A and B are shown apart, each in its own frame.
Chain A
């Protein structure tokens, strides 16, 4: 299998002198086509920093991030922007929908930013919303939708450009457990059926249990990695809870 994204000896340091803080230390990670990877860790373990480095939103102090074999640090701001727009989809904890745009317009936003405004895009956006089960809300504004509905719109938005990689930062963090399960099932289906790769940051073992593989970060290092063999989230979650206890950190 080909690695969509790969990190080589990735380090990220903030501050200088005695205020220096190592957010990430020597991270070696590969995510393959169609793979769903959950990144777990305690608060401050470097999960979100890793996600930002993977997306090119932040630059590593040392090391490299390769996207389809291309080193991100060799790309300029404009090329990085285009890469994010065309190859990467984002899902955020707080959805970050644009409040003045309707669900349909929010979904087409990345395409809109790319200067594409054809009828096909609108049709695709509607199909995606339909697929998410909120086709009837296409013309609604975010303020008229529930949290779950908003996150569905955000997922549809992340898929509009058929990205190779989806980066999700606590996508269910603001949702109740029932809605969370629905969202995670959708994400799972996307990876399986459409061959998208997904890197998801979470602190919740019940959420990470939907992934194919899980990695644990502690103090900026990968301390544990596991590939699930079972398709049952419940069983995977129980396993992960044990691991959390063994590692000794409180993942909350």
Chain B
């Protein structure tokens, strides 16, 4: 049996070669994608660690009075997922600032331990000369060192709040430009300031990133008022890679399906060609299961050879194409990482999957009685069971009916999704009977403009169509994935553009990145930024959180509001913000639906609400709105304050907040004087002169090096959109690669099919030549056959992708008609080319074959 398997494998070189090539191509993509992901993952982690430091949380307080004691630190260290901590101590963070030598900028004192994790902090990384301080040593910032002409090893007297001065040796220089910082040994500083064991904040490194949320929860449970910097920015950068993974895996699965379909087709053709040999084996006493095993062994041999070739090709191509790939996908160029275990597991999975796919032709072949196999001249189409035809029709009709019904009522997104999937399943089940109809239709259209010998090719196409049905399905799959994927990507891009315009009414946002009721930027900081040249800036003050006191439960949309019982009625939580609406209106116009936005009206306990606020809560122009400060989220000390404000205007929208934000806008005088909210949450700004942008960004980033602003983040719309475009390009590239590969599978399959079919019909074409058919005429006839199959497949793919794509987009809460049809038409124009290319080589070889030799070929 083994010898026979090997003989069949080796004897049909071309066919085996095709099959191996198909499997190898799929495996190459599988291997490249795994290598790409692993490399990206490593590059991304390395980049993140280099850029942001190798720690996962920053935990602590920004006030001198609040601190973590030794026992607190021990508690945090005991959390199982905490791998390492690095403590820092700021003795004078918000009081008793130390000025010395007449410098107008106070010195920030920081105690630090000499441990590897501490060196991950951006500030510590700035010790470019010297080393971290030991007891009796200090590291000073560069401007002060320069000003005083100090060098490492010099002795310097440092003042402390106790008015005592200590003489210390300079152990290093901190390269910061606009702040004065002095770094000390942690234990020495604690002892000197008589605060032994006190820690202001610490860096935390986790054993596993997935445990971040759990660790945060545990810390919060023990220290409710502690500030935790979750380092969201880093997670956001990781998200890009996380988002890429499902796309890559999804496309890999599709590629494997395409490869398996190709394998099934090639095996079917191969078995058909060897039908008589296999029948002879049966007649000579071969059992059904032996025949079955023969085919399976051959499939294993093909898929294993293809996989090994794919492995070699994938690894080799990864090295060869690394730079171009990374460039096309807008990724940083880094050394390649080969995840061998994952690759080998994927390859084994692939071999198993393809071998399982070959069970179908193997079983069919073993079940054909030997005499039937001998008699059959042409491959018999696997006649579809009538029940499948009816099921496919039912699916298509139900889908169309569901869509029409859904359009006639308030559309349900789920119904759109179900309808789209139902239609797709229906068409795939119906391919074997829809495809001939389409071929007839296309032939009929072309007969009107083409010569009558097309009759012959269209009839031949129909005669041979059962061979090509699966391959037309593969082409359909490529077109559907390409079109639908492209539409979803376009949609995401549009969405992102819209979302970014909402989030960024201006080009830049400087976010204080503080939590509820935590102070943001001081007005001085805002002023210093607003005064920069070519600057147009608006402050978004911190908001106060209030519960309503007079909400009319009858007027509200209950399902859209979160209500809680208060004073025997139900109330909701709203935010109050102080804002200069008049100035904002001049720069970023919004709709004033009713009333006014004058500062004078707002100062007299007036408030402006948004249209959405009015719709959700039922408050109207002129209504009083009674508010009480939220106990949990209130600003400052003392009991919660109450206020009643009168609605003087309704606007749509407030440019600096999402539409559905339950926001009340009043004058800053009220929020400042009554509730003590005088800090700024975000600063929105535009730089009016584009050439000044870089300089302004640089200046603001310099300001952010001040440790008290360490949490603040500067983001820009262009930068954010640029990041999205990078991700978009990566996904687009992957989609293109997957679609091209699946199209290539259908091309290879068709090439194989045509070669097999023409071999069987060589006498037929020789007759055409003998009867006076010219070479180019016969060539055209054969090419036309390929064109008809792929055009029909492409047309069907286009119909499904338009239907499915439109429904998926509708299911994503968009209009049903948003689907871009142009892309589909490109696919339709492209599909005949696949048929043309696939048929060209076998057609060329057929027409150039010796007529006299081919004529003597007996009809089988």
> B770 contacts A94, CB within 8 Å?
no
Q: Most chain-A CB neighbours within 10 Å: which of B769, B770, B772, B774?
A: B772
Selected interface stretch from B429-437, B451-459, B749-757, B794-802: B451-459
Q: B851: nearest residue on chain A (CB-CB)? A: A57
Which chain A residues lie closer than 8 Å to B773 at the CB level? 81, 85, 113
Given contacts A52-B852, A81-B772, contact A99 B452 (CB under 8 A): no
B771 CB–A CB distance under 8 Å: yes
CB distance from A89 to the nearest CB of B (A): 9
> B859 contacts A86, CB within 8 Å?
no
A96 CB–B CB distance under 8 Å: yes
Question: Of residues 161 to 217 in A, which have CB atoms within 8 Å of B's CB atoms?
Answer: 161
B775 CB–A CB distance under 8 Å: yes
> B770 contacts A90, CB within 8 Å?
yes
Which chain B residues lie closer than 8 Å to A96 at the CB level? 763-764, 767, 855, 859
> A57 contacts B852, CB within 8 Å?
yes
Q: A55: nearest residue on chain B (CB-CB)? A: B770
Given contacts A48-B856, A115-B451, contact A84 B463 (CB under 8 A): no
Main secondary structure of the interface of B (DSSP, over half): helix
Which chain A residues lie closer than 8 Å to B452 at the CB level? 112, 115, 117
Q: B774: nearest residue on chain A (CB-CB)? A: A81
Complex Cα spacing A78 to B774, Å: 7
Complex Cα spacing A90 to B766, Å: 12
Given contacts A58-B852, A96-B855, A112-B452, contact A85 B459 (CB under 8 A): no
> B460 contacts A94, CB within 8 Å?
no
Which chain A residues lie closer than 8 Å to B777 at the CB level? 113
How many residues of chain A are within 8 Å of chain B by beta carbon?
31
Q: B776: nearest residue on chain A (CB-CB)? A: A78
Q: A52: nearest residue on chain B (CB-CB)? A: B852
Complex Cα spacing A39 to B858, Å: 21
B152 CB–A CB distance under 8 Å: no
Which chain B residues lie closer than 8 Å to A86 at the CB level? 772
> A110 contacts B767, CB within 8 Å?
no
CB distance from B768 to the nearest CB of A (A): 7
CB distance from A12 to the nearest CB of B (A): 11
Which chain B residues lie closer than 8 Å to A52 at the CB level? 852, 855
Q: Mark A109-144, 1 if CB is under 8 A from B, else 0.
A: 110111101000000000000000000000000000
Given contacts A48-B856, A115-B451, contact A77 B775 (CB under 8 A): yes
Contact of B768 among A58, A99, A105, A113 (CB under 8 A): A113
> A113 contacts B772, CB within 8 Å?
yes
CB distance from A69 to the nearest CB of B (A): 21
How many residues of chain B are within 8 Å of chain A by beta carbon?
28
Q: B772: nearest residue on chain A (CB-CB)? A: A85
Which chain A residues lie closer than 8 Å to B770 at the CB level? 55, 57, 84, 90
Complex Cα spacing A105 to B454, Å: 13
Which chain B residues lie closer than 8 Å to A99 at the CB level? 463, 764
Q: B377: nearest residue on chain A (CB-CB)? A: A99
CB distance from B788 to the nearest CB of A (A): 13
CB distance from B764 to the nearest CB of A (A): 6
> A100 contacts B852, CB within 8 Å?
no
Contact of A112 among B453, B463, B767 (CB under 8 A): B453
A145 CB–B CB distance under 8 Å: no
Which chain A residues lie closer than 8 Å to B463 at the CB level? 99-100
A92 CB–B CB distance under 8 Å: yes
Given contacts A94-B859, A115-B451, contact A110 B456 (CB under 8 A): no
Q: A58: nearest residue on chain B (CB-CB)? A: B852
Q: Most chain-A CB neighbours within 10 Å: which of B763, B764, B771, B775?
A: B771
Contact of B456 among A48, A77, A78, A101 (CB under 8 A): A101
Complex Cα spacing A85 to B774, Å: 9
> B772 contacts A100, CB within 8 Å?
no
Complex Cα spacing A90 to B770, Å: 8
> A92 contacts B855, CB within 8 Å?
yes
> B456 contacts A94, CB within 8 Å?
no
A225 CB–B CB distance under 8 Å: no
Complex Cα spacing A143 to B11, Å: 33
Complex Cα spacing A200 to B856, Å: 15
Given contacts A81-B774, A84-B772, A113-B777, contact A94 B852 (CB under 8 A): no
Question: Of residues 438 to 468 in B, which have CB atoms within 8 Å of A's CB atoms?
Answer: 451-453, 455-456, 459-460, 462-463
Which chain A residues lie closer than 8 Å to B763 at the CB level? 94, 96
CB distance from B752 to the nearest CB of A (A): 22
Complex Cα spacing A134 to B858, Å: 25
Complex Cα spacing A96 to B769, Å: 12
16 interchain pairs (CB within 8 A)?
A: A52-B855, A57-B855, A81-B772, A84-B770, A84-B771, A90-B771, A94-B859, A98-B764, A99-B463, A99-B764, A101-B459, A105-B455, A110-B772, A112-B452, A112-B456, A161-B772
Interface residues of B (CB under 8 A from A): 451-453, 455-456, 459-460, 462-463, 763-764, 767-775, 777, 850-852, 855-856, 858-859
3 closest Cβ pairs, A-B complex: A85-B772, A100-B459, A52-B852
Known contacts A94-B763, A96-B855; 7 additional CB pairs below 8 A are: A81-B775, A90-B767, A90-B770, A90-B771, A92-B855, A94-B859, A101-B456
